[in-house]
Amino acid sequence: MARPIGIDLGTTNSLVAVSVDGQAEVIPDERGRKLLPSAVCYGPGDRVTVGYEALAAALDNPYDTILSVKRFMGRSTAEQERARGIAPYRFAEEEGPVVRFVAAGREVNPMQVSAEILRTLKARAEAALGHEVRDAVITVPAYFDDAQRQATKDAGRLADLNVLRLLNEPTAAALAYGLDARPEGTFAVYDLGGGTFDISILRLERGVFQVLATGGDSHLGGDDLDRGLAEHLIARLHPGRHVADLDPRALRRLLELAEEVKMRLSAAEATTVEVPALPGLAASGSFPLTRREFEDLARPIVERTAAPCRQALKDAGVAPGELAGVIPVGGSTRVPLVRATMARIFGSEPLTGIDPDLVVAVGAAIQANLLAGKGGDDLLLLDVIPLSLGIETMGGVVEKIIPRNSTIPTSATQVFTTYADNQTGMDIHVVQGERELATDCRSLARFTLKGIPPRPAGMCRVRVTFQVDADGLLTVSAREEETGQSQSVEVKPSYGLTDDEVETMLLASFEHAEEDVRERLLRQSRIEGERILHALDDALAKDGDRLLSADERAAITVAAGDLRAALRGEDHARMQELAKNLDEISAAFAERRMTESIRKILVDQKAADVKL
Amino acid sequence: MLSETKRGQGDAAAPGGRTDPGDHFAVLGIERSWHLDTARLAARHLALSRELHPDRFAQASPRERLLSLERTTALNDAYRTLRDPIRRAEYILRQAGIGHGDHDHELGHETGGVDHEFLEKIMHMRERMLELGIAGGRGGEHPEALAMRTAAAAAIDDLDRQIDAEFTAWERDPGGSGSRAALVQVDRCLAQRRYYVNILREIDGEDIPAGHGAL
């Protein structure tokens, strides 16, 4: 049976891991390298290269090689300016809900760029495992907002992956540690990635990983240390010059040099820096640099991690002294100053044991395995929404409807009444963030509820439901509650890609589009159909006799037989239709089973209460 | 109890597949009461999560996945509301049709239930804060700000004691004639409490999570 994979889709590097025989491991490439640089180079024609090769190409081809694409995920053209400083990319001119790069003469969006990275990792896993891979868990920074999460999921779909779950990176790390040694207690996960910083406080107790609070900064990462150091190097040799006005090729070389120097200074107290001649900066030179000098310029950046840590501890209601351990994640946590900062904030030395570069991918593979139903029934992850969800009210003030750190999945409903006579529409603006004013929060969706019947002011009530699923993704629906009748309106958020856009891009990525897509649909329908039949057989064997009448059971058996027969054929539309039919016929059975299992738990719990 | 549980769950799946809050107490299988054992509440939440969480249904049929999402959502929403004493109080009032809590109201509309005299007192405090320039977290070590802070915190403590006492009265006979009067008193206390919490928040210039206080 096909194994699901875990993917750490990082700002700087990405990894893929798989769990084999209860042991989760990162899969290296054919040359034994575990990391895949998150670099995608668009060449002439349709040529796309990913990873080390693309990274090398970035030196000569800085405009057509996209690095740190993660910083652009879920960002609109209006927001790209903020990220522009980090790279020399060319952007498409028209405004739109997603950023579009212009690389080698074509337009690509961040989801498409990320999909190239995902495809490469998928191929790597398939080569190593010797079978096709479809199911994957992809990790995201805990602090990612809804738009960034949606973009990541879209990237997975573009790479033809079935995204089982978006897993928060710190939670993945805790899972990797937790499964290893089965520790108990409250832990902090300090995750300084290439471009994002996350802090999560989790309680580990009898197989349950419960996130108590999370926080972070989605614009702070190890890249900032490299950039700060690069700025210093250029100032030493060329006083008055800045990173910002360097030729892109020179900037690329300098950033690489800075990263190397940073790593050398993690191991040694001092090093000699040799800056080569760079495009636009003819003079080369060398000078000594001490760790202390590096730390002086890194300190203001590393210090920015302290406030989110303290806030997360406060939100979790945990004092530093109550922590059982601090889990470091991300290559930057090897920097002695970062380790010292962690120790200072939390009052204890960070744990060692799992490579901070690999730990997230390992956790993702463990979660993928759990979701595939392969053992680990005693494990459960309970995660939270990182940022409050709210709606804009009069005067631009935000009313919070789901507070941050609420366990997901979660929902909130809000009833709106009309404020003018014969008002037939209502504007709703959904935002995410902690600030009081809507303009200071992330705008997630703006939509107008239409079709409200004309009535005097205050007479119509519209119930709006905000649902956040286990991936941390939001859907909004609205129902107008006039006496006796209610209509349901599905509201799609205004950013990200529509299903049609995903399908079109997917089509474009196949060489023989139509055949491939037909094949793919057939395969997917078959897998889905088999899964439903398998689950149903299990359920019938367990509860069929107790919860179904003979007639009900017969109807289900007939519908299941129809589906089973269709799966042997070649008609994917019929497979889907019969799967849907079976789903409807067995709906009451599913409902009864769920109700029964809840009843059982509550009976057990009450029995336990009595004993106490 | 069984039938009550069933009813609560039946309500959870409203037409159109939307999740409705259902009855939070029934979802967690506990008696309707303001005084409750939070450790027991946490244990219930955990035990139900182990069975209902969408992670458990990743390989199930679309129908079961939807049911799992709806039930877990109702479970988490119930737990979030009931574990916090203030949200729990607001929920009990809302169910009794008293006040409005955080539900069914015009946006931005502060609650009723406070008299003119109280509002004047609050207005004086706010005016004084503006005069001294101590709103928005700029209170610092200003002695009058500290005094105001102490006064507001003491008022909150006092209200919390009143809320506790009124609920004790209500719990003795939730259906009785005097019990509704107790809940109306709770509503008044909660309304006043919100004003004091806002004052604390303005002096400290930070986000005080709902339910933060002496309870």
The answer to whether A470 contacts B77, with C-beta atoms less than 8 Å apart, is no
Q: Which residues are CB-neighbours of A485 under 8 A, at least 6 positions away?
A: none
Determine how β-strand A197-205 pairs with β-strand A185-192.
antiparallel
Residues A101-110 have a mean pLDDT of: 87
pLDDT (tens digit per residue) in A42-57: 988 788 999 999 998 8
B3 inside 8 A of chain A by CB? no
Structure tokens at A322: 């109550």
Please say if A606 is a catalytic residue: no
A593 — pLDDT class (breaks 50, 70, 90):
very high
Residues A276-289 have a mean pLDDT of: 84
* Rounded-to-integer distance, Cα A254 and Cα A252, Å: 5
User: Taking the domains of chain B in order of start, what are their residue ranges?
Assistant: 1-83, 112-204
Residue A312's pLDDT is what?
94
B50 inside 8 A of chain A by CB? yes
Burial of A171 by CB count in 10 Å (0-12 exposed, 13-18 middle, 19+ buried)? Answer: buried
Determine how β-strand A410-417 pairs with β-strand A461-468.
antiparallel
A611 — pLDDT class (breaks 50, 70, 90):
low
B5 inside 8 A of chain A by CB? yes
Which fold is adopted by the domain B1-83? Helix Hairpins (1.10.287)
A7-21, A458-472, B76-90, B126-140: which has the minimum mean pLDDT?
A: B126-140
Q: Which among A601, A604, A606, A611 is the top mutation candidate for probing chain B, defined by the most B β-carbons within 10 Å of its own β-carbon? A: A601
Q: Which among A382, A388, A481 is the top mutation candidate for probing chain B, defined by the most B β-carbons within 10 Å of its own β-carbon? A: A382
Task: Report the mean per-residue pLDDT for chain A.
Answer: 87
CA–CA–CA angle B62, A161, A387 (5° rounding): 75
Please say if A392 is a catalytic residue: no
Q: Which among B6, B56, B59, B90 is the top mutation candidate for probing chain A, defined by the most A β-carbons within 10 Å of its own β-carbon? A: B59
Residue A350: DSSP 8-state: P
A56 inside 8 A of chain B by CB? no
Residue A159's pLDDT is what?
92
Determine how β-strand A474-482 pairs with β-strand A162-168.
unpaired
The answer to whether B49 contacts A382, with C-beta atoms less than 8 Å apart, is yes
Indicate if the pLDDT at residue A480 is higher than 90.
no
Q: A465 and A411 in contact (C-beta within 8 Å)?
A: yes
Q: Which residue in chain B has the smallest CA separation from A401? A: B102
* Rounded-to-integer distance, Cα A246 and Cα A440, Å: 32
The answer to whether B77 contacts A412, with C-beta atoms less than 8 Å apart, is yes
Determine how β-strand A485-491 pairs with β-strand A474-482.
antiparallel
Please say if A191 is a catalytic residue: yes
The answer to whether B63 contacts A416, with C-beta atoms less than 8 Å apart, is no
Residues A553-558 have a mean pLDDT of: 94
Neighbours of A107 (CB within 10 A): 13
Residue A509's pLDDT is what?
62
If we measure between CA atoms, which residue out of A202, A212, A188 comes closest to residue A328?
A: A188
Identify all chain B residues contacting A315, using CB atoms and an 8 Å cutoff. Answer: 209
ipTM score of complex = 0.87
pLDDT (tens digit per residue) in A568-588: 998 988 999 999 999 999 999
Structure tokens at B187: 């509503």
* Rounded-to-integer distance, Cα A268 and Cα B41, Å: 52
Q: Which residue in chain A has the smallest CA separation from B104? A: A415
B77 inside 8 A of chain A by CB? yes
Q: What share of chain B is helix, strand, coil (3-state, %, to 5)?
A: 70, 0, 30
Task: Tally A–B CB contacts below 8 A.
Answer: 145
pLDDT (tens digit per residue) in B97-156: 887 544 434 433 334 467 788 888 888 888 888 887 776 566 566 788 888 888 999 999
Choose the catalytic residue: A29, A64, A70, A146: A70
* Rounded-to-integer distance, Cα A77 and Cα A92, Å: 9
Closest residue to A397, CB basis, from B16, B67, B108: B108
When comparing pLDDT for A393 and A344, which is higher? A344
CA–CA–CA angle A444, A446, A447 (5° rounding): 135
When comparing pLDDT for B21 and A531, which is higher? A531
Taking 70 as the pLDDT cut, the residues of chain B under it are 1-21, 100-113, 135-141, 205-215
pLDDT (tens digit per residue) in A141-182: 998 988 899 999 999 999 989 999 999 999 999 999 887 667
B9 inside 8 A of chain A by CB? yes
* Rounded-to-integer distance, Cα A496 and Cα A400, Å: 23
Q: A381 and B41 in contact (C-beta within 8 Å)?
A: no
Residues A95-110 have a mean pLDDT of: 84
A261-275, A473-487, B70-84: which has the minimum mean pLDDT?
A: A473-487
Closest residue to B80, CB basis, from A164, A406, A586: A406
pLDDT (tens digit per residue) in A407-432: 999 999 888 887 888 887 778 888 88
The Cα-based distances of A488 to A389, A404, A429, A451 in angstroms read 22, 27, 18, 11
pTM of the model: 0.87
Residue A241's pLDDT is what?
83
A166 inside 8 A of chain B by CB? no
Please say if A169 is a catalytic residue: yes
When comparing pLDDT for A446 and A348, which is higher? A348
Residue B10's pLDDT is what?
31
